[in-house]
Amino acid sequence: MKRELFQSDIGESYVKAELSSGLKIYILEKPQYNSSYAVFGTKYGSIDTCFAVNGEETTVPEGIAHFLEHKLFESEDGDAFTKYAKTGAYANAFTSFDRTCYLFSCSDKFYENLDILLSFVQSPYFTKETVEKEQGIIGQEIRMYDDSPAWRVMFNMLMAMYHNHPVRIDIAGTVDSIAQIDYELLYKCYNTFYNPANMFICIAGNVDTEKVLKQIKASVKATEPVMLERINTPEPNEIVNPYVSQKLAVAQPMFCFGFKEAIKTPERSIKSKICTALLIEILAGDASPLYKKLTTEGLINDEFSSEYFNGNGYACVIFEGESKNPQRVAEEIKAEVERLKLEGIDKKLFSAVRCSMYGNAIRLFDSVEGIAMQFIDCAMNDSGLFDDIKYLRSLTAEDVYKRLLKLDIENTVLSVIEPLEDA
């Protein structure tokens, strides 16, 4: 087992280990805390709809990663929730575009809970009957999202932005696509993506690193690595449609406005992500001139937010919120990008925003959940937990300016949810 200790001058340290099977493990001890948080995850999400194993290509129905997540809780000897019920832990799971994670949090019986987690994630049990039952439950989950304007406004934007990349499809799929899922397909996906070499375990809290590593090592099954290839249809740099709208039962318009980025490599570097986060705050954060203008003119409210949305093969800068006039908001954002390109980055604002992000990076260590979630990003991007702090200390206003130049105002999508006439 390879292992490495990472220490930071803010008084925190963690261990990163890798088993011979390729499984990555991250542990940060918080001996003064009551609680602990653990995640067992795989680099497998809704975008992995087309792949080749040992050269054999397969296309699977949309939403299957999420379906698999639901079904993995059932094992031959009962379901994981029943086992957790005996310890009192809070357990859950989530599937996003590029990952599926199983987690628990507890203040007691950590090692018993870890056993449950390690065991059920490694024990798939799918039958015809259990698959059919889940179609009803997930069908209702999909319906719930169909009615959620916040969800729709985002996916409508992604559909108008991406021609081919599967980031444009709903994470849970559709009622029709999940009807095509059967237990054999689930096993195929499981055997491909739930290989230790593609997986990670992230733990923060009141735990003993040595004991945890020993327990994981004894539990993780020796599995031959899979020759996995993710197949992506080439994605053009250009967007599909600059504007998309849908009417739903809302009382005021909602919008999602994104800049599509032309990318040469599938992944963004950690430094580039932090630099983009700084840029977004300087451009549209709550101390920016743009935020002041939009608020004063009654164009945005406290729901306004922004993010750098990126993963394997996709990257865009997104602004979303509620507005009586989404078109104006989009125009103002574009105008501000152009203004900053001409006038440069305000050094004082840069320094204040950097200070704030530095404080937030320190604040993160107050929450075992926050640390575990950050570890997931580390595992996905092969980055370190203290990278934010390191890069925030070294990035300059010049770096942010260079990053700004890559925002292309000609390659944007505005998605709007409009109220129905009679709402």
Query: Any idea of the CA torsion for 346, 347, 350, 351, to the nearest 10 degrees?
Result: -150
As given in the structure block, the two tokens for residue 117 are: 């987690």
Asked whether the beta carbons of 114 and 91 are under 8 A apart, the reply is no
Closest CB 136 distance from other proteins, rounded Å: 3
If the CB atoms of residues 302 and 343 are measured against other proteins, the closer one turns out to be: 302
- C-alpha–C-alpha distance, residues 369 and 36, integer Å: 8
Are 282 and 339 contacting, i.e. CB atoms less than 8 angstroms apart?
no
Q: How far apart are CA 195 and CA 46, in angstroms?
A: 17
| CB of residue 68 to other proteins, shortest distance in Å | 17
Under DSSP, is residue 413 helix (H, G, I), strand (E, B) or coil? Answer: strand
Distances (CA, A) of 27 to 207, 281, 323, 381: 9, 31, 43, 17
**Tokens 């942010």 sit at which residue?**
400
User: What phi and psi values does residue 360 have, to the nearest 5 degrees?
Assistant: -65, -35
Which CB sits closer to other proteins, 35 or 223? 35
Which of 12, 29, 62, 69 is catalytic? The answer is 69
Least distance in Å: CB of 70 to other proteins?
10
For residue 414, the minimal CB distance to other proteins (Å) is 18
261: left (phi over 0), alpha (psi -120 to 50) or beta: beta
User: Any idea what DSSP says for residue 75?
Assistant: E
Element (H, E) at 258: strand 254-260
Report the nearest approach of other proteins to the CB of residue 6 (Å). 18
Q: Judged by CB, which is closer to other proteins: 288, or 310?
A: 288
Least distance in angstroms from the C-beta of 53 to other proteins: 32
Q: What percent helix, strand, coil does the chain show, rounded to 5?
A: 45, 25, 35
CB of 314 to other proteins, least distance (A): 27
CB of 33 or CB of 163, closer to other proteins = 33
At 72, list the tokens. 């993995």
Over its C-alpha atoms, the chain yields an Rg (Å, rounded) of 22
**Which C-beta is closer to other proteins: that of 299 or that of 378?**
299
The whole-angstrom distance between residue 414's C-alpha and the CA centroid of its chain comes to: 22
What b/e string do you get for 270-308 counting C-beta neighbours within 10 Å, with b at 16 or more? bbbbbbbbbbbbbbbbeebebbeebeeeebbeeebebeb
Mark whether 69 is an active-site residue: yes
Which residues are catalytic, by number? Answer: 69
